[in-house]
Structure 1
Amino acid sequence: MSKQFSIGMAALAAITLGMTAAGQSTPLVIGVSIPSATHGWTGGVVYHANEAAKDLAKKYPNARFIIKTANSPSEQANQIQDLYTVNKINTLVILPFESAPLTRPVANLKKQGVYTVVVDRGLTDTSAQDAYVAGDNPGFGKVAAQFMGKQMGGKGNVVILRGLPTVIDNQRVDSFEAAMKTQYPNVKILDKKFGNWNRDDAFKVMQDYLTRYPKIDAVWASDDDMAVGVLKAIQQAKRTDIKFVLGGAGMKDMIKRVMDGDKMIPADVTYPPAMIADAMRLATAARSKGQKMPASTIIPSVLVTKANAKQFYYPNSPF
């Protein structure tokens, strides 16, 4: 089993701080393959990837970055092949559109000698990657449960909006339920349904919850896009029993509401789209010295409150 390596903002800064192009010989050609900005979080991914490429190009003159965005798994598979055959990349940083369809294409590049770094959505065969960078999905659920249980005074009714049926979502929800059961057994989870990390779908799910449950104390939306839909449904229904909604991922509008002391959005949990930038920085720092990255880099989920929200506010980001 590969050794897992956890990293926070300070540790990442320590790794990259002061790194220069000194000692670089072989040109680095880094392909960055990411989904298109089809919703808020991936919009943030695109933004942070482009910002990181500009910053890293200044620090590492011997490195060249080619960023490609895809609207489907098949388009992404074709793009990464082109990155190899046309652009001659020797390093790939990829956030897969979906895990299964991208596993073989990434594995093929690795066989050709391309150093492969997978971000967030893990491949179905981990041998296809050299390194993995992701947020802490179990931690995401645990941090959310701990905050909600405490905020509710250890009792009350909660409804959950899940993301998509993926390993990531399972890890988040399982951890949330385990933490709540252990630490706050008097908090009752009324229901959990998929909102697909989409505000419109979440709006419909929340409408259903509001119809079926006359008393809801709090909502774990588990994603800021879904939280937008949840809040809209609550407002339209004019329900006053719901004390707050907890989303996640760090959407700038939600972080601003936390900063401003909005009672309905008292906190957020990070699962930053900036992890793509973290992966690019780590890959560039390592490969510029001919070194390997840790097999697994997990970026902790952090509770964002009014006290620390300014640290996580990116007003120029689309997300």
Structure 2
Amino acid sequence: MTSFTRRIALTAVAAAALASLPALAAEKVNLGVSIPAATHSFMGGINYWANQAKKDLEKEHKDLKITIKTAANAPEQANQLQDLSTVTKINALVVFPFESAALTKPVAQVKAKGAYVTVVDRGLTDTSAQDAYVAGDNTAFGRIPAEYIVKQLGGKGNVVALRGIATTLDNERMDAFNAVLKGSPDIKLLDAKYANWNRDDAFKVTQDYLTRFKNIDAIWAADDDMAVGVLKAIEQAKRDDIKIIFGGAGAKGMVKTIMDGKDKRIGADVSYSPKFIYDAIKLTAEARLKGEKLPATTIIPSVLITKENAKDFYHPNSPF
């Protein structure tokens, strides 16, 4: 099944769930979208798909207005949420929190003023601050790389990991990764540090790992942008002991590397498309236009990408 087919199936499931919920009074929808700025390629994809959703949906629905705000950090996003609520006077919100804890109260304040809230990807620390949650499968995102690494190493070896930003989804990924490793006592996780889903930070963290650890068999970068920083650090250090580099999210450059077999250390990835922001905006807008609610949780599957199925995940025209 292709990623496109899965998205269609997901939308159909969500639509069926909507049909079973009681309808509320329909109204014109003033939808705010709050997302992090395009500080790296995955967020570039998020911004691209959010703006595509605005273009498509406003053209299709005359009673819909979408306002998109992008923030470089959590405090800026909190301020933008306040403006969306008090100045723009939104009655619906799709928010991709910069950080979980820091954005929970600001999002709760928007909901308290009557807006319908859909949280995307990075969950809040208090789910009562949201009406719906849409995300990729973060448990699978952590489990799949661990299973692949354990299998490729034959159940024995040294591993280091690079985490993202301190969020609920990062915790879910790391917990799932660790759960798999617990079943392989001869796989040793030497360290796991935050690199903020950033190439430069990943380069610095990997430099530290390469200095401290004389033998590393596999690196879980947990993001394809971070994997680029990892590769640069390894090249600079001239290390040849690393057998596996596993990123995440299916960036087009990494998928192309897998398709072409360019780097024997990069044999697989795990899907996590930024297009889910488009799906979240579309589902939220169309539900509110009908006076309906979304299911409490919608999870988009994450799957292993290998040379055999990589063509299904390769989107050369996407910014990610």
**TM bucket, shorter chain:** 0.7 to 0.9
| Residues 304/58 of structure 1: CA separation in 2 closer, same or farther (3 Å cut) | farther
Q: How does 1:13-92 map to 2 (within 5 A)?
A: 13-14=11-12, 26-92=27-93
Shift of 1:224: 1.2
User: 2:196 — aligned with what?
Assistant: 196
Q: Does 1:302 align with 2:303?
A: yes
Does residue 12 (structure 1) correspond to residue 19 (structure 2)? The answer is no
Deviations 1:127-160 (A, max 9, x none): 1111111222222111111111122233222221
Residue matched to 1:20:
none
Following TM superposition, by how much is the alpha carbon of 1:16 offset from its aligned partner in structure 2, in angstroms?
A: 7.8
For the residue of structure 1 that corresponds to 2:230, the secondary structure is helix
Q: 1:204 to 1:78 in 2, by over 3 A?
A: closer
CA contact (8 A) 1:143 1:302 kept: yes
AA matched with 1:163: G
Using the size of structure 2 for normalisation, the TM-score is 0.87
- Identity level (%): 61
Answer yes or no: is 1:106 the counterpart of 2:100. Answer: no
Instruction: Structure 1: state its 5+ residue gaps.
Output: 1-6, 18-23
Q: Does 1:235 align with 2:235?
A: yes
Deviations along 1:60-99, one digit per CA (max 9) or x if unpaired, are: 3432211111223333223223323333322110112222
Q: What secondary structure, in the 3-state scheme, does the structure 1 residue paired with 2:79 have?
A: helix
Q: Is the 8 A contact 1:207 1:233 kept in 2?
A: yes
In 1, distance between residues paired with 2:247 and 2:55?
30
User: What is the aligned partner in structure 1 of residue 155 from structure 2?
Assistant: 154
**CA 1:85–1:174: 2 relative to 1, 3 Å:** closer
- 1:260–1:25: structure 2 CA closer, same or farther, 3 Å change rule? same
Name the CA distance, whole Å, in 2 between partners of 1:166 and 1:100. Answer: 8
Could you tell me how far apart the structure 2 residues matched to 1:238 and 1:73 are?
Answer: 37
The match for 2:22 is none
Matched residue, 1:4: none
Shift of 1:55: 2.4
**What are the Cα deviations for residues 205-233 of structure 1, in whole angstroms up to 9, with x where unaligned?**
22222233332222111111211111111
Q: CA deviation at 1:8?
A: 4.7
TM-score, with structure 1 as normaliser: 0.87
User: Counterparts of 1:110-259 in structure 2 under 5 Å?
Assistant: 110-182=111-183, 184-259=184-259
What CA distance in whole angstroms lies between the structure 2 residues aligned with 1:187 and 1:103?
37
Counterparts in 2 of 1:101 and 1:210: CA distance versus 1, 3 Å: closer
1:12–1:278 Cα contact (<8 Å) kept:
no
SS class of match (1:176): helix
How far residue 108 of structure 1 moved from its aligned partner, in angstroms, is 2.3
Q: C-alpha distance in 1, partners of 2:48/2:216? A: 36
Q: Is the 1:266–1:305 contact (alpha carbons within 8 Å) kept by the matching residues of 2? A: yes
8 Å Cα contact 1:227-1:245 kept in structure 2: yes
1:3 aligns with none
| d(CA) in 2 for partners of 1:209, 1:101 | 29
Shift of 1:105: 2.6
CA 1:80 to 1:192, structure 2 compared with 1: closer, same or farther past 3 Å?
closer
**CA 1:62–1:15 in 2, change beyond 3 Å: closer, same or farther?**
farther
Aligned to 2:18: none
Unmatched 5+ stretches in structure 2: 16-24
Task: Tell me the CA shift for residue 40 of structure 1.
Answer: 2.3
Change (3 A) 1:70 1:15: same
Q: Which moved more, 1:59-68 or 1:216-225?
A: 59-68
State how far apart, in whole Å, the 2-side matches of 1:218 and 1:104 are. Answer: 39
Which residue identity does 1:68 align to in structure 2?
K
The 2-side partners of 1:108 and 1:209 are apart by 42
Given residue 197 of structure 1, which amino acid in structure 2 is its aligned partner?
W
